[in-house]
Amino acid sequence: MKDADTMQLRWLAAQGVAREAGALARRRFEDSSFKVGFKGPQDYITEVDGETEDLIASRLHEAFPGDGFIGEETAGRPTPAGGAVWVVDPIDGTANFARGIPHFCVSIACVREGVIEVGVIYDPVRDELFAGRRGHGAFLNGAPMRVSDATSLAKSSVEVGWNLRAGAAKYLDLLRRVALWGASPFRTGSGALGLAYVAAGRRDGYVEQHINAWDCLAAILLVTEAGGYVSDFLANDGLTKGNPLIACAPGVKEALVSAVEIDGIAL
């Protein structure tokens, strides 16, 4: 089978697995009897994260046994040289999930030789499936997505992703800069959905001082395929260490990049 055909199979499989995993997460969210803990300060984990990741890992392994796997909650499987690697966040927006807030998603990306080939995000509460394949477009429940036509930060809404990995002072500075340049800042607690909303034209930009690959890879492909700008997340070992990130509509790229001035970001 040709390479392009196997990637098409991965794209279809990722959509089915995201829906199945999302249905499991939604059922468990609704019965709300799961255990909640912390991996670190403000870093929530629930037992459903592990259950959902196990389901995704086993489905993908059954279908593509030679592929590598990097999941938020488990150790990665070795990646064959030149092979495809799945990068998975079973529940992005875990803090929302843990506190009964219906804003979370499953995020599944497939990367090969440093290039994101497939990106799928499923929001099981709204039944919204965001799916993109490199060179083939990005779709929301089957309809093509386009980033917004914003040209001014003063009319833009920008999500400012938050975690404590880069420190509270850096977060406040980023937030200050976004607000001072006139954009309306948001923080909704799911980086993957925040970025998917940029792809769908619901927000004009997303910025974060440090984000991990499982939170953003699928969405990066969606934004790119929907005509948006994304900084070079995979530079300097972003796949394993994470990186800063800027994603936005092309009309506000120049203004947003100079507004936020993130140190060490690969543009």
Q: Which residues of the shown chain bind ligand IPD in the complex (CB under 6 A)? A: 72, 89, 92-95, 161-163, 189-191, 208, 211-212, 215
Residues paired with residue 172 on neighbouring β-strands, in sequence order: none
Name the residue nearer to ligand IPD (CB basis): 136 or 202. Answer: 202
Minimum distance, C-beta of residue 68 to ligand IPD, in the bound complex (Å): 20
Minimum distance, C-beta of residue 244 to ligand IPD, in the bound complex (Å): 11
Name the residue nearer to ligand IPD (CB basis): 7 or 192. Answer: 192
Minimum distance, C-beta of residue 38 to ligand IPD, in the bound complex (Å): 11
CA angle in degrees (0–180, nearest 5) for 242-130-162: 35
Minimum distance, C-beta of residue 261 to ligand IPD, in the bound complex (Å): 19
- Residue 86's nearest CA partner among 50, 62, 51, 104 is 62
Which strands form 205-211's sheet, in the order they lie side by side?
184-186, 157-160, 205-211, 243-248, 229-230
Amino acid in position 95: A
Name the residue nearer to ligand IPD (CB basis): 71 or 201. Answer: 71
- Residue 29's nearest CA partner among 114, 123, 159, 116 is 123
Strand 84-92 and strand 105-112: the pairing is: antiparallel
Minimum distance, C-beta of residue 212 to ligand IPD, in the bound complex (Å): 6
Query: Can you tell me whether residue 136 is helix, strand or coil?
Result: coil
Minimum distance, C-beta of residue 99 to ligand IPD, in the bound complex (Å): 11
Minimum distance, C-beta of residue 162 to ligand IPD, in the bound complex (Å): 5
Name the residue nearer to ligand IPD (CB basis): 46 or 224. Answer: 46
DSSP result, 32-81: ----EEEEETTEEEEHHHHHHHHHHHHHHHHH-TT-EEEESSSPPBPPPT
Name the residue nearer to ligand IPD (CB basis): 94 or 224. Answer: 94
From CA 195, how far away is CA 128, in angstroms rounded? Answer: 14
Name the residue nearer to ligand IPD (CB basis): 99 or 155. Answer: 99
Name the residue nearer to ligand IPD (CB basis): 95 or 248. Answer: 95
From CA 236, how far away is CA 62, in angstroms rounded? Answer: 32
Amino acid in position 177: R
